[in-house]
Amino acid sequence: MSKLKVILELAWPIVVNLIMNTLVMFTDLYVVSKFGADAISGVGVVQNVWRVLFALTIVFSSGGQVLVTRYVGEKSYKKASLVISSLFIVAIASSLLFIVLFAFLPKFILWIMGIDGKVLEYAIEFGYILLLGIPFIFINSVLDMALHSYSNSKMPMFLAIIAALLNVLLDFGLGLGYFGMPNMGVFGVALATVISYAVVACLHLYLYFGKKMPYIPLLRFRRRISKRAMIVAYPEIGSRLLANMSHLIFTSALLSLGSLYYAAFNIAIQIMAIGYMPAIAFASAGAILIGQEIGAKRFDMAKSYIDTIAKLNFLFMLLLALLFIVYKVELATLFSSESKSVKIVVESIVVFAIVHLPFAIDITYTFALNGAGLTKKTFKINMITLWIFKIVPSLYGIYILGSYEWVLASYFIQFIVVAYFMHKEFAKEEWRYLKV
């Protein structure tokens, strides 16, 4: 089978999966937008805080995948099963801990960020319901990783379709009172998300314990295996956590320009998420393939896969950037009718569309390095470039210049710099000799 065919067969279901995730975000945003800019800002703040939690699932989705893909490449499915089993138990235990932890943190975090008034009310209403979804998020992370690690990207796609359709139905039902359901507003949107997480978790459990995967459905804990996964994952976890906390600082600063600017920025980010999907899908395929090829000792093939994916990503991102720029006004008016808000969204879309090009290179080589286990390298590059080229300039632009355009420029510059360093790091080929 040709390299291109292998990549495409693995990547296209991931694209569909991401489209379904984006459909959920779009629907959430659309329904929440019916309650005004304060609701969009409140839910957006919670989603930014929520990314901190998702960063912790890297232990399962990234740390676990590095180990499992190598064992799959070696055809050692018993070892792979022990990794999955150990991480599954860690997921259940840690999810319960985080429910308790996050039950006390939200108000404190929002207070630190200076959130108040109606924005705070919406954030609290939305955030506390999402706590119920933590165990399902963790379970889904482990078992989704198990499926992807033996190149089964189609089953996660089908599960994502089920989750998305259910979430859309419940968003309009519980959020706006359609289909004879109670109109629960923002509370209902959060509840819809939790229910969709729960349904997918149940299906994942059926596949695992019903022996629908090539693994042995064990419930054994091996501390050494969990430690190895953690060692691989902790730099990426640290990177995600620091990035998310940095983004919270950025969010707090951006809100100081007014909820209109933040709402417009959030709308533009959600719109552009669909453009990132092909790049993320191909990069995810690369992370899986590089792990399998390293396990099989086919290092030149691993490099060839990643370089091919980088070229595909750049081409797709170029085409999508042009598409977004052409239809920027139509996209902006889907979510806002206020002329000032539309103008800010349009301006943001143009910049984010151009950012697609360095992002294509960045995401390809970042995922490849992480898939090979070089997570410490990507952590250093991401953190240094994030603060020097994005956060600090953005804060200067907001607090000193009062300029939203300065913020957009910082986004663009940071992606160019990080793309350069990620490509340079991959070209060193240290990943050939790394043991995990």
Digitized pLDDT (tens) for each residue of the chain, 436 residues in all: 678 888 888 888 888 887 887 788 778 878 887 887 778 777 777 776 676 677 677 767 777 888 888 888 888 888 889 989 988 998 888 888 888 877 776 666 666 666 666 777 777 777 778 888 889 988 998 999 999 888 888 899 999 999 999 999 999 999 888 888 888 888 888 899 899 999 999 999 999 999 899 998 888 888 888 787 777 776 766 776 676 667 667 777 777 777 777 777 777 777 777 777 788 889 989 989 998 898 888 999 999 999 999 999 999 899 988 988 998 888 888 776 777 778 888 888 888 889 889 999 999 999 999 888 888 888 889 889 988 988 888 888 888 888 888 888 888 899 999 999 999 999 999 988 877 6
Q: How far apart are the first and last CA of the chain?
A: 29
Predicted local confidence at residue 418, as pLDDT: 94
Q: Kind and range of the H or E element at 251? A: helix 223-255
Predicted local confidence at residue 168, as pLDDT: 92
DSSP tag of 215: S
pTM listed for this prediction? 0.74
Predicted local confidence at residue 203, as pLDDT: 96
Predicted local confidence at residue 2, as pLDDT: 76
Predicted local confidence at residue 112, as pLDDT: 61
Those residues with Cβ within 8 angstroms of residue 400's Cβ, 6 or more apart along the chain or in another chain: none
Helix/strand/coil (H/E/C) assignment for every residue in 50-112: HHHHHHHCHHHHHHHHHHHHHHHHHCCHHHHHHHHHHHHHHHHHHHHHHHHHHHHHHHHHHHH
Sequence-separated contacts (24+) of 319-323 with Cβ below 8 Å: 320/275, 320/278, 320/353, 320/356, 321/275, 321/353, 321/354, 321/356, 321/357, 322/353
How many residues does the structure list for the chain?
436
Helix/strand/coil (H/E/C) assignment for every residue in 305-361: HHHHHHHHHHHHHHHHHHHHHHCHHHHHHCCCCCHHHHHHHHHHHHHHHHHHHHHHH
Nearest to 306 by CA among 181, 432, 219: 432
Indicate the number of domains in the chain.
1
Residues 364 and 386 sit within 8 Å (Cβ to Cβ): no
What residues make up the domain containing 179?
3-433
